[in-house]
Amino acid sequence: MTARPHADRPVELTKLGPLAQLRAGRLGRRLPQLFAGLVLFGVSMALLIRGTLGVMPWDVLHQGIALHVPLTFGQVVIATSMLVLALWAVIRQAPGLGTVANAIVVGLVVDPSLAVIPEPEGLPARLGLVVAGVLLNGLASAMYIGAQLGPGPRDGLMTGFARLTGRSLRLIRTSIEVLVLAAGWLLGGVVGVGTVAYALAIGPLTQALLPWWIVRLPAPPPHR
**How much is the pLDDT for 7?**
44
Non-local CB neighbours of 174 within 8 Å, separated by 6+ positions: none
Q: Output 163-167 pairs: Cβ under 8 A, ≥24 positions apart.
A: 163/91, 164/91
Judged against a pLDDT cut of 70, whether residue 126 lies above it is answered with yes
Judged against a pLDDT cut of 80, whether residue 11 lies above it is answered with no
Q: Is residue 102 part of a domain?
A: yes
Contact 144/32 with Cβ under 8 angstroms?
Answer: no
**How much is the pLDDT for 4?**
47
Number of H helices, E strands in the chain: 9, 0
Q: Is residue 15 part of a domain?
A: no
Q: Is residue 163 part of a domain?
A: yes
Q: Is residue 114 part of a domain?
A: yes
Mean pLDDT over residues 117-131, rounded? Answer: 93
How many domains does one find in the chain?
1
∠ Cα 82 13 109 (to 5°): 35
Q: Is residue 10 part of a domain?
A: no
∠ Cα 106 107 110 (to 5°): 85
Q: Which residue has the higher pLDDT, 164 or 143?
A: 143
**How much is the pLDDT for 222?**
56
Chain-centroid distance, C-alpha 137? 8
Mean pLDDT over residues 187-213, rounded? Answer: 90
Q: Which domain holds residue 36?
A: 26-212
pTM above 0.75, yes or no: yes
User: pLDDT-based confidence at 203, cuts 50/70/90?
Assistant: confident
Judged against a pLDDT cut of 90, whether residue 70 lies above it is answered with yes
Whole-angstrom distance, CA of residue 71 vs CA of residue 111: 11
Q: Is residue 3 part of a domain?
A: no
Q: Is residue 73 part of a domain?
A: yes
Mean pLDDT over residues 3-9, rounded? Answer: 46
**How much is the pLDDT for 12?**
67
Which pLDDT tens digit goes with each residue over 178-191? 899 999 999 999 89
Which pLDDT tens digit goes with each residue over 16-26? 777 877 787 88
Average pLDDT, the chain: 86
Residue 154: which of 128, 179, 135 has the closest Cα? 179
User: pLDDT-based confidence at 221, cuts 50/70/90?
Assistant: low
Q: Is residue 149 part of a domain?
A: yes
**How much is the pLDDT for 1?**
38
**How much is the pLDDT for 8?**
44
Mean pLDDT over residues 116-134, rounded? Answer: 93
Judged against a pLDDT cut of 80, whether residue 54 lies above it is answered with yes
